[in-house]
Structure 1
Amino acid sequence: MAGDAEATRRRLLDAAAREFAEYGIAGARVDRIATAAKSNKAQIYHYFTNKDGLFDAVMSELARDTLREAPIDATNLPEYAGRLFDRFTANPVKERLAKWYRLEGEGYAAVEVVVASTNDKLEAIAQAQREGLVTSRFTPEELLALVVHMSALWSSMTPEMAGHVTGIPLRRRRQVVVDAVAAILRD
């Protein structure tokens, strides 16, 4: 029965990711998640304690997947930005989850995987700066913020601006992100 339990947990995580992506943390409803997962609310509480625990599990999985699929290379931040861009354009649900986390995440328990990976990224950038491989014009925190937000450039536009750029091919959008980060790094 361990396979059934894991399958149920997987369905709950997948349904929760879609629900959180659609409605945010506050707007998500455990009854809709349970129904979409062909499960029940009791199973959510059994596996994740509460809605916040479920959100933490979804975000932890998102962070682990992102670390695996878009690892940082502090000596090549433009390409790292490109990999982040690829990651989120390939899966709009994951992109929306990251947006909701930025919008509503404050006040919720820190997602430990995100905290640890952020600290690791900052240390990698600081090390590259100490070795003279990356500009020191910006602090590691400033550089990481610039890289992460540049990678989300195209998905964070107002609807009015987005209407003007819909004809720009995905490949070109990625190149703009990579080139912009490269420009930021020039001394």
Structure 2
Amino acid sequence: MPQQSRKEAVIVSGNELGQRFYLAQFNIASSRWPLGHSQMTEFTDLLEPLNQVAEDAPGFVWRPYTLVDGDIDFWPYGPDVVINYSVWESLEQLRDFVYRGRHREVFKRRAEWFTQRSGHWSALWWVKADSKLGTDECVNRLELLNRNGPSPCAFTFARSYPRPCICHPN
């Protein structure tokens, strides 16, 4: 009887197969005062320079330049809620940006401008390189994280998940 060869599955990262995955990040904060208030001036003055630091950072891929399409009155989270989302090449590169350099200096001062939120205020997840993120998906990922805890679908720096893998026969 001829011996059958068993083909074993080989797991490789999506990037090795030419299907690139990037890291998406979303964070949300409730400001202590309306954004136009004098107490928020220092923070709002820092936004453009910090965005430039992000764009110049190793691993930065993309961020939206208009966060909310259409009428701001339809933003369901209120006028004092600030969001930020972006896409990065790797978890390590995003971590370096967030916790080192100029961003870290401002990040350490967040309590001056924003109230403490219950639950997670930031979510991370892997996206295909050609994905087009929108605010709804970002908010849904954060809600998923708060509802179920960290998972491959939404995680944190403290409990992260590796870049997706694709199983393909050998």
- The normalised TM-score by structure 1 is 0.27
Rg larger in 1 or in 2?
Answer: 2
